[in-house]
């Protein structure tokens, strides 16, 4: 799926500003699977494709807190147990200094269903592992395959 002109400009502006205003950047992503073995994915308004819910770790925030906050903001999900750290990845697509912390979040409850589309999230869905969206981000697809096959994660998102 191609980015719209507005999405390209927004992404370019964000990445350019980030290079000058941030040192190393770090974000979180949440691997959430329901009782039917479906994985939770979101589609953002500012970039094409489906991704795990997640986002930037705020200044002074711990990654474990950030993943809980992002799940609540993006999917209306509250953690009912601690997230489990899966791995830390370099995300060279964003910048040479960007990293993604991936958590498996096995214990959660759906607090509410967010109104979508909204400013950040275009769609939310749980997808069967054998019927994932065609336009899923390559990094998200790799992480799902590694998790499903109990493989050691590659270091690059």
Q: What is the pLDDT of residues 71-95, one digit of tens each?
A: 999 999 999 999 999 999 998 777 7
**pLDDT category of residue 6 using cuts at 50, 70 and 90:** confident
Q: What is the mean pLDDT of residues 53-69?
A: 96
* Distance (Å) of CA 32 to CA 41, 75, 92, 115, 154: 8, 11, 24, 19, 20
pLDDT at 11 > cutoff 90: no
Read off the pTM.
Answer: 0.83
Is residue 1 predicted with pLDDT exceeding 90?
A: no
Mean pLDDT value across residues 4-15: 80
CA angle 92, 128, 89 (to 5 degrees): 20
Q: How far is CA 68 from CA 63, 109, 122, in A?
A: 9, 11, 20
pLDDT at residue 4 in the model: 85
pLDDT for 22 equals 59
- What strands, in cross-sheet order, belong to the sheet with 54-56? 54-56, 25-31, 98-104, 84-90
Q: Which of 10-14, 28-32, 122-126, 151-155 has the lowest mean pLDDT?
A: 10-14
pLDDT in the model for residue 21: 65
Which among 113, 32, 124 is positioned nearest to 80, based on CA atoms? Answer: 32
The domains located in the chain, with CATH, are: 5-148 (3.90.79.10)
In this structure, are residues 40 and 113 in contact, taking their beta carbons and an 8 Å threshold? no
Pairing of strands 108-110, 77-79: antiparallel
Query: Exposed/middle/buried for 89, CB within 10 Å: 0-12, 13-18, 19+?
Result: buried
């Amino acid at each position: 799926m191609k980015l719209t002109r507005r999405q390209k400009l927004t992404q370019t502006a964000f990445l350019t500003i980030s290079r000058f205003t941030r040192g190393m950047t770090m974000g979180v992503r949440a691997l959430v699977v329901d009782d039917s073995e479906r994985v939770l994915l979101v589609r953002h308004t500012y970039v094409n494709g489906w991704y795990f819910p997640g986002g930037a770790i705020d200044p002074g925030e711990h990654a474990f807190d950030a993943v809980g906050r992002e799940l609540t903001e993006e999917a209306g999900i509250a953690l009912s147990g601690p997230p489990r750290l899966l791995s830390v990845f370099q995300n060279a697509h964003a910048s040479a200094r960007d990293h993604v912390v991936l958590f498996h979040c096995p214990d959660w409850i759906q607090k509410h269903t967010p109104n979508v589309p909204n400013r950040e999230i275009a769609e939310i869905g749980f997808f069967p592992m054998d019927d994932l969206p065609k336009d899923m981000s390559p990094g998200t697809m790799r992480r799902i395959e590694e998790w499903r096959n109990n493989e050691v994660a590659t270091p690059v998102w």
